[in-house]
Structure 1
C-alpha cells in the first residue's frame, strides 16, 4: 500500500528528478520499487495551453472508458494535493465529473492550507487557476460530445447490421411468394449451387442500393470456406398451402459461422406429423403435396456430413382458404432499408417509411423510444418491431387491418428469433 501511495503521491517528482525509491518490508523480507503511476486511456493532444496570471499550469489528461475510478488529480510542484479535483466545489461540474478522464493538473502557484497538503487557500492564486481552466473545460466538453456522437453512430451501424441480418433470415424462413420483397429467396437458391458465399447471413446487406452479384470472378479467401456442418434451416420454415396444392421446400445447411455448407452432404426428408407427400426425398429441394384435409404438417430434413447429423423442421398449415396477397410496392433492387432518427416529442407517430430514400424514419422523441433506449436489447427489439410494421404496411397494400396485424406478428416473431 505504501508503494501504491507513493507512486501516485510523488508521481511527477519521481519522473522529473529520476530518484529511485525502494520500500523495504523487513517482516515479509521483500522490497518494492516505487514506479510513477501510469495512466490508462488515450493521451489527449492539442489541448489549449493553460496560462494563468501567476504562472503556467501543466495538464496531462487521458480519455478512457467511463469508469467510477477515473479521476483527475490536482498537483503542486509534482506532489498530489487532491486525488480528485471535483471535490473542490467550483470544479464539481463537467468535464471533471464525467468519469471519462484520468490524469492530473499541476498548478505550482496555488497556496496550501497551513499544516496540511489536503486543502488549498481560496485566494487570488486559486481564482487565477479557475479562470485559466475555463478554455480547457470548454475544449474537453466539445471532445466528449464528439466522442458521444461517434459512439452513437457506431452503435447505430451495429444495430442496423444486426437488424438486416435478422430480417434476411426471417424472410428466408417465410413463404417466398408472400415475403420475398428483396429477391432473397432467389439469390439464396442461386448461391447454393455455386462455390461463393453469396448472401450468407454473416454479410451485411447493402442499404438503399442494388445488392451486387459476386459471381466467380475472385478467388475465395481461406476464411470464406465453410467449416463442418453445424445447423440446418428449412426455407420456408413456416408456410400456408391450400389443400391439394404443392409447396417447395429447401434445406439450408450452415457451419458454426453461418456460412453455407455445400460439400459432402446428404439429405433425407420425411413427414413427421400430419399427412402429405414428398418427392425427391434425397435432394436438397423437395416439393410437398398437401393432403385433401386441412391440418398442421411438420416436415423434417436430416442432413449428414460424415459422422455429423443435423436436422431442421418446417411447419406447413394446410387450409381451404388463403389470405389474400396485397400488391408489392417495394422495388426489388432497393435492398433492405436503413433507418435514421427524427426528434418529434410532441407527435404520436413512432416511425414512417421514406420510399424515396429507402429508409425508415424513427421518432426518437417518442416516449416509447425513450423508454426502450434505456437498454440496448430492448432498443433493438423496438426497432425490429418498427421495421416489421413499416415493411408490412409497404408490401401488403390493401389488406384489412386484422390481416396486416397477423402479418406483422408473423414477421416480427421470425425476425426476433434471429437477433
Structure 2
C-alpha cells in the first residue's frame, strides 16, 4: 500500500521514485487537472489579515478624522470630541447626534454586524443604491483605534430607549456586547478610546482642530456640521472651522468637465511662500496635503510656491491601507489629462505675480537705501559731503543749501525721499543709545534745510536737535515753530514735525524752529521757495534740478565684470543683475539690501569725488557705508 501510494504521488507530481530513477526522464509528462489550473484567492489566516489592516493606518490624526467622518456619514449635525483624563489614563471620546448604529430585527444596535463584517462596508452598498454624501467604502475605519489607544467602547441606543455598548481590545479578536447602565440615552453614537498610546499623549485639542479643519474642509462646509473640541486636560475649547485659504481667488478655475464627472477646483494666488500648496481631495476629504507629492504634479505651477487651494476629484480610487494614496489607473490618467491644459495658464499668472513682487521689492529696497543715505548725510560733516555734482543747478556750480531733501513733482516714486522715521524703537538705535548717550543740546537743524514747494501745496519738516557730537537729543526737548519771513501757514507751533502749507503766490519763506532744553536754546532755519514756473522748467531740463538721491534699475550683463554704473542723465544707478555677486546676494533679502546700498555708496563717491586718488576714494566709501548701514533696515 505504501509503495502504491508513493507511486501515485510520484506520477501526479512527476517525482522519480528510487526504483524508477533511470526511466523517469523517458516517462511522458502528465498535464495537471483542470481543477488545479484555475481558482480564487482567499485569506488563509483571517486574524492575521485583520491585524495587518488595523496597523495599516499610520496616523492617529487620520484615525480620529475617520471617526468624525463616520459621524458625518450617519447624518450628525453636532459632533463633540472630548480629550480628558480619568483614573490617570488619557482618553478621547467622540459623541454625535446622528442616526446611531443600525438596529437589528430585535431592535438592538447591530454591533455584531459591525464586528463581523470587516472590509464589507454597508456604506458601499448604500452608494450603489444612490445614497449621497457618504464617504466610507472599505469597512475598516473602526480598526483605526489600534493606532490611537488600547481599548474601544462603542455605544448606541436601541429601540427600547436603553443604551448598549460593544467593547474591543487592541490585539484581541474578541468583542463583548453589554447593556450600559445610564439614567437616559441620547441619540447618536458615542465612541471612547482609552488609554491613549504613550506616543500620542501630546496630541492636544489644538492639533486636532487644525488637522480636521484642513482634512475635512469641504465635508464640514457641505454638511453644515458643527464640530466642537473640549480639551479638558488642557482646559481649552475649540470650534473646528473649515480651512480658509488666503490670496486672490482665481475665478476662471472652478469646474472641469470630464467623462467620469466634474473636477472641482478652488485656487488662490498668494505671495510666495514655501508653505503654499494645493491639496488633493476626494468628495470633500483631503487625500494629500500637497498635490506635488504625486510625480505627475511635481512641477510648476504646483511647486512654484504661489498657489493655495484644493482640487476635488470624486472618481479617484484610493488605497485603503493609509487612505492617503491614489491608485494611478485610468481614472487618475483622465484626471491628469484634464488638468494639463490649465497648467500653462497658471504659469503665466504666476510669472506676472513674480514680476509684481520683484517691482515691489525693488521699491522697498530703494526706499530703505535712500532713507539710510539721508540719515548718513545728516551724521557726516556737511563741509566734507556736499555731493555737489549730482545736485547742482548748472554744470560745475555748487549749491550752498542742502539739496538732499528736495521733493519735486516730476520726481518718480522711486526717487522721492520720505521724511526720516523715528529710529528710537529700532534695534540699531537701541544698541547705539546703550553705548552712546546723547549729551546736552548743542545745535539744531531743520530737514530739509532748503526746498521748493509749489503754490497751494504742503511740505513736511522735521527739527533735529543734536549734541556736540551730532547725536540726536531726545530728552527734555521742546520745539517751537514760526514763520520768520514770507507767508504760509503751519499745522502747529510745537513738536518735532510740522506741516507747511504754501501760499497761493510765489514767494520765499524762512521757517524757523527754536529748540529748548533747560536753559539752552538753539535755533535753526529753512528756506522755502514757493514757485510755479521753476518746476515746469525742470521738466524740460534733461539733467533735471535737484533730483535728489538717484534711483536704480537693472541690466542683465551675464559674464561681464562690472557690478554697477551711474547714468547721470537719468539720475539712475544701473545694476548688473547678471553678475555672480548679485545672484549670490539675492538669495537673502538682508544681504541683497546691503549689496545694493554698497553699490550706491560706490557710485556716489566716484561721482562726487572725481580726481581723488584710489586710497582717498576707498576711505570715503568706507565712511559712507559705515554710517549708511547703521540706518539700513
**Structure 2 counterparts to residues 51-90 of structure 1, below 5 A:** 51-90=257-296
Would you say 1:138 and 2:344 are equivalent positions? yes
CA RMSD of aligned residues (A): 4.4
Q: Which moved more, 1:173-182 or 1:374-383?
A: 173-182
What secondary structure is seen at the aligned counterpart in 1 of 2:314?
coil
1-structure distance, mates of 2:214, 2:417: 54
Post-superposition Cα deviations, 1:11-31, rounded to whole Å, max 9, x if no partner, equal 323322334556688999998
1-structure distance, mates of 2:320, 2:294: 18
Residue 333 (structure 1) shift = 3.0
Aligned to 1:276: none
Would you say 1:214 and 2:445 are equivalent positions? no
Residues 1:257 and 1:348: Cα distance change in structure 2 (over 3 Å): farther
Among 396, 409, 416, which residue is 2:609 paired with?
Answer: 396
Which runs of 5 or more residues in structure 2 are unaligned? Answer: 1-60, 65-207, 393-398, 407-415, 422-449, 472-493, 501-510, 526-542
Post-superposition Cα deviations, 1:31-67, rounded to whole Å, max 9, x if no partner, equal 8765433334433323375333433210012334444
Q: Which moved more, 1:147-156 or 1:113-122?
A: 113-122
Residues 1:347 and 1:257: Cα distance change in structure 2 (over 3 Å): farther
What secondary structure is seen at the aligned counterpart in 2 of 1:413?
helix
Q: Which moved more, 1:174-183 or 1:346-355?
A: 174-183
**Structure 2 counterparts to residues 367-386 of structure 1, below 5 A:** 367-386=580-599
Residues 1:117 and 1:341: Cα distance change in structure 2 (over 3 Å): same
**Structure 2 counterparts to residues 307-322 of structure 1, below 5 A:** none
CA contact (8 A) 1:350 1:363 kept: yes
Aligned to 2:420: 202
Would you say 1:265 and 2:515 are equivalent positions? yes
CA contact (8 A) 1:168 1:201 kept: no
Post-superposition Cα deviations, 1:123-170, rounded to whole Å, max 9, x if no partner, equal 221111111112332222222222222121111111112222222333
Residues 1:379 and 1:257: Cα distance change in structure 2 (over 3 Å): farther
Would you say 1:186 and 2:406 are equivalent positions? no
Residue 362 (structure 1) shift = 0.7
Post-superposition Cα deviations, 1:201-250, rounded to whole Å, max 9, x if no partner, equal 439xxxxxxx9712673467xxx586xx875277999xxxxxxxxxxxxx
Aligned to 2:313: 107
CA contact (8 A) 1:338 1:360 kept: yes
Aligned to 1:344: 557
TM-score by structure 1 length? Answer: 0.64
Residues 1:415 and 1:258: Cα distance change in structure 2 (over 3 Å): farther
2-structure distance, mates of 1:29, 1:402: 69
CA contact (8 A) 1:7 1:37 kept: yes
Residue 69 (structure 1) shift = 4.4
Residue 88 (structure 1) shift = 1.6
Residue 390 (structure 1) shift = 1.8
TM-score by structure 2 length? Answer: 0.44
Residue 106 (structure 1) shift = 0.8
Aligned to 1:355: 568
2-structure distance, mates of 1:83, 1:110: 16
Residue 344 (structure 1) shift = 1.4
Post-superposition Cα deviations, 1:84-111, rounded to whole Å, max 9, x if no partner, equal 2222221222232334333211112222
2-structure distance, mates of 1:364, 1:124: 47
What secondary structure is seen at the aligned counterpart in 2 of 1:112?
coil
Aligned to 1:96: 302
CA contact (8 A) 1:392 1:404 kept: yes
2-structure distance, mates of 1:374, 1:63: 23
Which runs of 5 or more residues in structure 1 are unaligned? Answer: 192-197, 204-210, 238-253, 271-280, 286-329
2-structure distance, mates of 1:48, 1:390: 51
Among 382, 402, 408, which residue is 1:175 paired with?
Answer: 382
Q: RCO higher in 1 or 2 (8 Å CA, sep ≥ 6)?
A: 1
Residues 1:389 and 1:36: Cα distance change in structure 2 (over 3 Å): closer
Residues 1:163 and 1:188: Cα distance change in structure 2 (over 3 Å): same
Q: Which has the larger radius of gyration?
A: 2
Residue 365 (structure 1) shift = 1.4
What secondary structure is seen at the aligned counterpart in 1 of 2:268?
strand
CA contact (8 A) 1:169 1:201 kept: no
Post-superposition Cα deviations, 1:280-328, rounded to whole Å, max 9, x if no partner, equal x96559xxxxxxxxxxxxxxxxxxxxxxxxxxxxxxxxxxxxxxxxxxx
Would you say 1:232 and 2:466 are equivalent positions? yes
2-structure distance, mates of 1:122, 1:165: 57
2-structure distance, mates of 1:189, 1:116: 66
2-structure distance, mates of 1:161, 1:346: 29
1-structure distance, mates of 2:376, 2:348: 42
CA contact (8 A) 1:160 1:338 kept: yes
Aligned to 2:548: 335
What secondary structure is seen at the aligned counterpart in 2 of 1:62?
strand
Q: Which moved more, 1:176-185 or 1:354-363?
A: 176-185
Aligned to 2:577: 364
